[in-house]
Structure 1
Amino acid sequence: MLGVPGSLDPVTTRFYKEQGHHFIALVPERELRERLAAEPLGRLLVVDTARSERLGFIADHVAGFTSVSAWDTHGDPVADLPRVDHEPAAATVSPLVLRIAERGLTPTPAQAGLFLLGIHADSGHFVFPGTAAADYRAAALCAAWGAPVAWIEEYVPRGLDRHRLHLIERMASRVTTRTTGGFTIAIATLDLEDYEPDLAPLLDTLRRAEGWEAAFLIAADPRRTVIIGRSSGGVDVAATLRPLGGGGHPEAASASLRGCPVPEAHALLSDALEAGARHRTARDLASPLVYTAAADATVDAAGAALHKYKVNAVPLVRDGEFVGLLSRREVDDAVRHGMGGAPAASISSGPPNWVPGDAPIAEVRRVMLESPGRLVLVGEAPGPARGVITRTVVFRASVDESPFNRSRPSPRRDLMQRSLSRALSEADQTLVSQLGALAEAAGLELYLVGGAVRDVLLQRAVDDLDLVVVGDAPTLGRAAAERHGGRLHVHEAFGTCTWTTLGGRKVDLTTARTESYPHPAALPDVASGGLHHDLLRRDFTINAMALAIGPSHGGELVDPFGGQLDLDQRVVRVLHGLSFHDDPTRAWRAARFAGRFDFTLAPGSQALLREALRAGFADRLGPARLGSELHKVLCEAQVVRCVAMLRDWGLLALIHPGLPGDRELLERVTGVREAWLRHREWIDGEGLDAGEAQWIAIGWSLPTEDRRARARLTGKVRGRTGRWVGGPVRVRAALDQLQRAARRSDEARALRELDPAELVCVMALGGDGAEAAVSWWEHEGRLVEPAVDGHQLISRGAQPGRALGQALDAARTAAWDGADAARQLAAALDALDAATS
């Protein structure tokens, strides 16, 4: 049965009247009610909503169906019907079209035409904000299936006739605007003599022309009053209309109110907007971490605190009371005047001002303007302070500008949650959900951060969970172990813990922190911090994003440095100008990420790297740390691309000034990588990763003494020093022997002393013949055991010693060359006679 819980709009009615013979008939409402009550119920497919309350009389029968599936793209958080999982789209029919194509089905041209009409209607001819790639792909499929394109102009016209222009004029003449939460929102009204279709696109046309962030239309006809909302994305119109029984997308929603006149509907909408506007207070703006310095400490010590915590001002305390405030500028001026040893309080103009936690933004702004410093404390003087608010935060809040650039709008929460679910295994989905609920119950904030968020946005699988807690991570760890079992190992001094679940999964939880570098290339000093500080200590913008985890805010993307835009533009960018000086290893990490994702280093970051190289930024970087970063590069799947970047950026010279970085080097690296991939099934069994053989490729052209002089690069990794220093020598010798080999035994002698990494290099650098020899050696030659053993030879009069060893070696040589047992014994006896004669 195909039914609609309500009436069709005039356009759809006309379409079914003219084209209905192509499709199955719609069951009239009366017949539908009777059949639902009398017939056994099977599967229910719901479209365009996942809320049972919007199904009218059909909702009474939902529980009786054997299964229920909702095809819905609205992302309604209060939906109670099970949704079909699909990729984002503006049109409900788009995912269905893609599913039809996946199953190899071909609809009729008329069916394809109906699908295409739905796509154009729901996406506003592909210009509505929620339009996604799925809509374009689905439309292309419909066209390929022979959809009558003329239907679009007939039933979903793009232009405006005189009647529609008149409706827009009437809307514009009866509109009021208001500013809510910094957004300009318009409310228009229309009294209609009859039902009027297609009001939503007309409203959006008016909204775009006037530049409103959001617009609502209250339209009343004799049967009902409908409220339509359209938005550019800054205002969630679906959330606004949800208390009125409506629903939809954040950018497009509606609600139907029966028996509600326009003035009453206007009042209800105004109340909903007022309730939905988030009136932020000082408590909302405040950072809970209040960094302080001792009032009696020196100016130099206060400056060190400013540097350590990466803040521009710090309150001064004495005996637990706030007695002063010091800014970075004041410290710099005092040091310039030779007052670095003076007490910090001696240059402070007085204590910071206070605001109560419930103070509105306007009050915070007034107090800030009257304050002598760059911050105010939240709470009641003399303390304790519940938080701190800086001038920058107040400025952003005053102009209602998100701390995250609007030119890079965050994905919708529901889309991010769906992307996260696809990136995680089922077990990790459950685990993350459990931790999010526990964190929220404990008043903590939990975020997935770093490369995990990057990979979610890139639609890559996430295996390592990098979870940061704003608050205290061990508190969350204890709650998780108590609620869900498992073991907990706490590192109180570092604010971290490791929770091992009953299933054996280890989860590291880290308290959000800030870090500073006492000198270039040093290991950082770490202290507790907020989420912004934690992200600021990351290496690149693409790794400096966070994704909220939890029932209330799950799926919110925190992107303070434009990482999402850099992913779109395929660039790697450092967060600040001293990034490479703070941690020179970031240069090698930049090559890894740029090579892995086929990105480029942002022009500004390239300039910073050149200046850092000129300043000798890596001079303090120990050779073992440098070698460790190099090895990570050599393990990358796109190692050739990475090494080329190291060459282009001048970093290969830091490994050794004689490294040419020419085409031959890249060809060696390419050959080694390809040989390793071809034979990794037996190489993996040896416990070596892909990077070990590349050490030989990198050092191939350097003299042995030069490699020996840089042996500290290899650290203390077992076998790596030998490969770096002696590997090229042994591989060259083996290649020379293979060139002269006439028998299998010659090949065996050339290869038997080489480790797997060296064998990979033999295959990479020696051509097809060398690869065939290595393949034979690994699969057959090294497994060959001679039929003759020492006991047999001793029984024939041989004495233990060198001669016996030579005889056994002769037997093995014969075995390698395919001799049978008798010939192996003869070869051994001949060798024994020669050695003893």
Structure 2
Amino acid sequence: MDVITTHLNADFDCLGAMIAAHKLYPEALMVFSGSQEKSMRDFFLKSSSYVLNFTRFKDLDLGKVTRLILVDCQHSSRIGRFAELLERPGIAIHIYDHHPESSGDIKMSGGIIRDCGSSTAILCRILEEREIAITPIEATLMMLGIYEDTGSLTFVSTTEDDFMAAAWLLRQGGSLSTVGDFMTQELTSDQVSLLNDLLKSLQSITLNGVEVSIAHSSVDYYIGDIAILAHMMRDMENLEALFLVVEMGNRVYIVARSRIPEVNVGDVLRDLGGGGHATAASATIKELTLIQVLSNLEKSLRQKVNPRRVARDIMSSPVKTMTADTLIAAARELLTRYNVNAMPVMSGNKMIGIISRRIVEKALYHSLGQLPVSEYMHTEFLRTSPDTPIQDIQEYFIRQNRRFAPVFAKEELIGVITRTDLLRSMYAGEALYDLAREDIPTKSKELARQMKGRLSPRVLQILSSAGKIGDELDLQVYAVGGFVRDLLLGTENLDIDITVEGDGILFAETFASRFGCRCKGHIKFGTAVIVFPDGFKIDVASTRLEYYETPAALPVVERSSLKMDLYRRDFTINTLAIQLNQSDFGLLIDYFGAQRDLQEQNIRVLHNLSFVEDPTRVFRAIRFEQRLGFHIARHTENLIKNAVKMDFLHKLGGKRLLSELVIIFKERDPFGAVERMANLGLLRFIHPVLKLDAMNRRLLEEVKPVISWFELLFLDRKYEKWVVYFLALCEILTHDEFIEVCKRLAVSEHYREKLAEMRRLGERVLDAFNRRGAKCRPLQPSEIYRLFNDLAVEVLLYLMARTKSEEAKKALSLYFTKLQGVHTILTGDDILALGVARGPMVGELLEQLLAARLNGAVMSRDDELNFIRQAIVNNVVFSQQDTGPCSES
């Protein structure tokens, strides 16, 4: 039995999220874990018909619950008696919550946790994506949840998801007038009195240059909805960070709100047993007095309030520049190549101006492309230092209508701050397309504890040592890519990629010499491989950016920052980095919303031209989708379809295409990926007539159990799994078409001829089996051996998957399990020692002896000697006959 519930003192967001969750889990019962907020109680009194879909807790049999769906909550202490289920083995826990993941103690087995203004909005986006229909009443109730938790979409914690969800609900018939009726609340006399006391006690303290406001009061009885008072006071007094501390009876309640990144109120109140968002949080404290709570709050604030950020905290570096004599036409190319809207203009080592894309485009419109940028650049700009407060830069951008500020260390240009950098430092954003230019906050999280729990001591020691070497060389060192992704997913991945901001080859050489490893560097790309004595490898790269001069071309590489290095990667889920330097060891860096896409199981590109620049990413998207059980995001799939329609994949070189196919065919179960390729129209780029019809669909599905069977035999025969799937995929092709495919994929001439010939011989063998009639005698083991022994393992496995003949399957099974390793004890020298003259007779006798051993006629060395002696005595030399499946011997 499924049950949907939420936290005690449920509010409208709880109600809306529960109703939305019920659309995803239609068989589940909706049960409140305890009481509701006063506004909710009033709602139910006025709208009793809505209560009919809810089950009372006292009518619920907890023993029958097999899955618990929690909304707007991650804490066991906040779900009443439902917490008893958390200890039960096998219980599934799905959580849908908008509070930070680290704020809860309940381990989830499904669901989504991500930053958002409301839990209801998260669920609504899922309903919209899955095109699940809702009624106008349901839309109204969900809209109530969003509007309550976002202050009618005005709170700082509101995200684009909340707006998008509200818009979708409005299209589904949600009633804004009904929402307005329930959202408009007049303060009670108790709330007015409490507000007056709080305003009188309001005081501000300055911590690390940040002003934090605290108000407190004490009453003998409970007053509900004090969060309303927090919002009123914040707006009335224009406060950046506010903490309301109210003692009511034997409990102290704290409500906190913040508009600034330096004060993460959720983090502050976690120290006091509460939690929430960076912008909105609360706590309920028992057995402490008001004075004690205020003292503990001040201690937490002194530890948690971050200093005001300065230019060095948000600037982009290294800086791409152009010279004063760069022509306007060339300037546009540079701005496009590096994906920027403005660039510093240099005269030698001195910055003399800024050229913007807008000026360049206007100059080109007026046919001024052959003039130097120095003629039209901005020569007045703010000179900031690394210690310039961000507030000063913000005021410059607003007052002067600028979007670009250089950062200098004395006279040296060391960084730039753009309007995007500034916005990213101030507000949360949504992971959209061309992510390097979106206002996405850099998300960080401590992973040191997870790393200790999930990595082997050796790997942990290697990463720690890498950080120490980085500190010695004054280099920032990171673990990046799939290793980090799989660490968060709880999947083992020993392919470690390390990225260094600076000289990666110097780092690799230093590490190798220190720990007795070999190092092979590639100066052109700034990369190196560290090889340990036991063969274990680590790939090292200097941070770099890539740009593509033409679609599907190989990239041009240049040194760059960590952010731009991660931006060149294929999908958001592969853009995570973990800092390895000792001071920040285990710090997770997320520039592009990768954590969110991991939670939502999305495969998402970073910008709209991703598949144009590198069409191989189409195949990688499919591979990751199938391997991880994720889904390609809708817009990303549309971009794939566009790349297919524009025929960009025809420009791929054969080796690059083959490389992607080989990796796909080496996956645990490639069939899903092949099916996805067929659905997206990708097979025609391998060969125009290639398709997934019923015949090779069955064959591809049959390959997996055949390969599993073969690998369980633990035979000492190497083979290439990808070749078996490749042969199966090409099963519908003629011999000439198969050769064409091999040429398209740049398979070497020798190997493609060998594959084609074995494919042809294998088909001939199967045809012979298929022609055998009931009167044909069973094949002798020696005949089976001669049929199959010259064929590659890959071809034999392909034949086993392809054939429907039970006799052929048994013959192949017998060959693999008993015949392929059989050999005679006697050698040619032994036969010569028996008096046989050197010549063809020796080989013929050995072949006949092998046939006798295969057929069980001889077992021991003595048996073999007697067999050969008898042949010599009788002067019989058995000639080899071409014994096909139906021949007589």
Distance in structure 1 (CA, Å) of the matches to 2:754 and 2:456: 38
- How do 1:238-253 and structure 2 match up within 5 A? 240=268
Residue in structure 1 matched with residue 852 of structure 2 by the alignment: 814
Q: Say whether residues 1:772 and 2:810 are aligned partners.
A: yes
- How do 1:169-568 and structure 2 match up within 5 A? 172-175=195-198, 187-191=214-218, 216-218=243-245, 228=254, 236-237=264-265, 240=268, 265=294, 269=298, 272=301, 276-350=305-379, 352-369=381-398, 374-379=403-408, 383-397=411-425, 399-401=426-428, 413-414=445-446, 416-436=447-467, 439=470, 444-474=475-505, 476-477=507-508, 480=511, 486=517, 490-500=521-531, 505-550=536-581, 552-568=583-599
Secondary structure (helix, strand or coil) at the match of 1:389 reads strand
Q: CA deviation at 1:477?
A: 4.4
Q: CA deviation at 1:447?
A: 3.0
Out of 817, 836, 843, the residue aligned to residue 805 of structure 1 is 843
Q: CA deviation at 1:697?
A: 0.9
Instruction: Tell me, yes or no, if the aligned pair for 2:509 and 2:519 is still in contact at 8 Å.
Output: yes
Q: CA deviation at 1:655?
A: 0.7
Q: CA deviation at 1:388?
A: 0.6
Q: Say whether residues 1:696 and 2:724 are aligned partners.
A: no
Q: Call closer, same or farther: CA 1:605–1:100 in 2, change over 3 Å.
A: closer
Which moved further from structure 2: 449-458 or 338-347? 338-347
After superposition, the CA RMSD in angstroms is 4.9
Instruction: Tell me, yes or no, if the aligned pair for 2:442 and 2:591 is still in contact at 8 Å.
Output: no
Q: CA deviation at 1:457?
A: 2.8
Out of 664, 669, 679, the residue aligned to residue 648 of structure 1 is 679
Q: Call closer, same or farther: CA 1:93–1:681 in 2, change over 3 Å.
A: farther
Residue in structure 2 matched with residue 571 of structure 1 by the alignment: 602
Q: CA deviation at 1:728?
A: 2.4
Q: CA deviation at 1:795?
A: 6.5
Q: Call closer, same or farther: CA 1:798–1:384 in 2, change over 3 Å.
A: same
- How do 1:715-754 and structure 2 match up within 5 A? 715=746, 720-722=751-753, 724-739=755-770, 740=772, 742-754=779-791
Amino acid in the other structure paired with 1:671: E
Deviations 1:149-186 (A, max 9, x none): xxxxxxxxxxxxxxxx9987765444358899999987
Q: Call closer, same or farther: CA 1:488–1:732 in 2, change over 3 Å.
A: closer
Q: CA deviation at 1:616?
A: 1.9
Secondary structure (helix, strand or coil) at the match of 2:650 reads coil
Q: CA deviation at 1:644?
A: 0.3
Secondary structure (helix, strand or coil) at the match of 1:175 reads helix
Aligned residues with identical type, % of pairs: 27
Q: Say whether residues 1:832 and 2:855 are aligned partners.
A: no
Distance in structure 1 (CA, Å) of the matches to 2:554 and 2:486: 27
Unmatched tracts of structure 2, length 5 or more: 1-72, 111-187, 433-437, 773-777, 882-889
Question: Structure 2 length normalisation: TM-score?
Answer: 0.67
Unmatched tracts of structure 1, length 5 or more: 1-87, 105-118, 138-164
Q: CA deviation at 1:378?
A: 0.9
Q: Call closer, same or farther: CA 1:342–1:685 in 2, change over 3 Å.
A: farther
Instruction: Tell me, yes or no, if the aligned pair for 1:91 and 1:135 is still in contact at 8 Å.
Output: no
Residue in structure 2 matched with residue 130 of structure 1 by the alignment: 103
Residue in structure 2 matched with residue 63 of structure 1 by the alignment: none
Deviations 1:437-463 (A, max 9, x none): 554676544333222232223221221
Which moved further from structure 2: 543-552 or 824-833? 824-833
Deviations 1:718-761 (A, max 9, x none): 97524642342122123234454522122111111111111211
Instruction: Tell me, yes or no, if the aligned pair for 2:214 and 2:242 is still in contact at 8 Å.
Output: yes
Distance in structure 1 (CA, Å) of the matches to 2:692 and 2:393: 58
Residue in structure 2 matched with residue 32 of structure 1 by the alignment: none
Distance in structure 2 (CA, Å) of the matches to 1:835 and 1:489: 54
Which moved further from structure 2: 353-362 or 286-295? 353-362
Q: Call closer, same or farther: CA 1:376–1:412 in 2, change over 3 Å.
A: closer
Instruction: Tell me, yes or no, if the aligned pair for 1:324 and 1:351 is still in contact at 8 Å.
Output: yes
Instruction: Tell me, yes or no, if the aligned pair for 1:590 and 1:601 is still in contact at 8 Å.
Output: yes
Amino acid in the other structure paired with 2:783: D
Q: Call closer, same or farther: CA 1:236–1:756 in 2, change over 3 Å.
A: same
Residue in structure 2 matched with residue 658 of structure 1 by the alignment: 689
Amino acid in the other structure paired with 1:598: G
Residue in structure 2 matched with residue 595 of structure 1 by the alignment: 626
Q: Call closer, same or farther: CA 1:660–1:491 in 2, change over 3 Å.
A: closer
Q: CA deviation at 1:323?
A: 2.2
Distance in structure 2 (CA, Å) of the matches to 1:577 and 1:385: 31
Which moved further from structure 2: 673-682 or 493-502? 493-502
Q: Call closer, same or farther: CA 1:93–1:187 in 2, change over 3 Å.
A: closer
Q: Call closer, same or farther: CA 1:167–1:681 in 2, change over 3 Å.
A: farther
Q: CA deviation at 1:585?
A: 0.7
Q: Call closer, same or farther: CA 1:355–1:267 in 2, change over 3 Å.
A: farther
Amino acid in the other structure paired with 2:796: L
Distance in structure 2 (CA, Å) of the matches to 1:430 and 1:682: 37
Distance in structure 2 (CA, Å) of the matches to 1:744 and 1:463: 44
Amino acid in the other structure paired with 2:779: A
Secondary structure (helix, strand or coil) at the match of 1:539 reads coil
Q: Call closer, same or farther: CA 1:819–1:351 in 2, change over 3 Å.
A: farther
Distance in structure 2 (CA, Å) of the matches to 1:566 and 1:179: 39
Distance in structure 2 (CA, Å) of the matches to 1:628 and 1:354: 49
Distance in structure 2 (CA, Å) of the matches to 1:780 and 1:267: 76
Distance in structure 2 (CA, Å) of the matches to 1:135 and 1:614: 41
Amino acid in the other structure paired with 1:413: K
Q: CA deviation at 1:285?
A: 1.9
Q: CA deviation at 1:684?
A: 7.1
Distance in structure 2 (CA, Å) of the matches to 1:575 and 1:434: 32
Q: CA deviation at 1:653?
A: 0.8
Distance in structure 1 (CA, Å) of the matches to 2:209 and 2:320: 31
Q: Call closer, same or farther: CA 1:786–1:261 in 2, change over 3 Å.
A: closer
Deviations 1:277-322 (A, max 9, x none): 4311222221121111121133343333323322222111122221
Q: Call closer, same or farther: CA 1:638–1:265 in 2, change over 3 Å.
A: same
Secondary structure (helix, strand or coil) at the match of 1:447 reads strand
Instruction: Tell me, yes or no, if the aligned pair for 2:272 and 2:296 is still in contact at 8 Å.
Output: no
Amino acid in the other structure paired with 2:877: L
Q: CA deviation at 1:273?
A: 6.3
Distance in structure 2 (CA, Å) of the matches to 1:612 and 1:222: 66
Secondary structure (helix, strand or coil) at the match of 2:783 reads helix
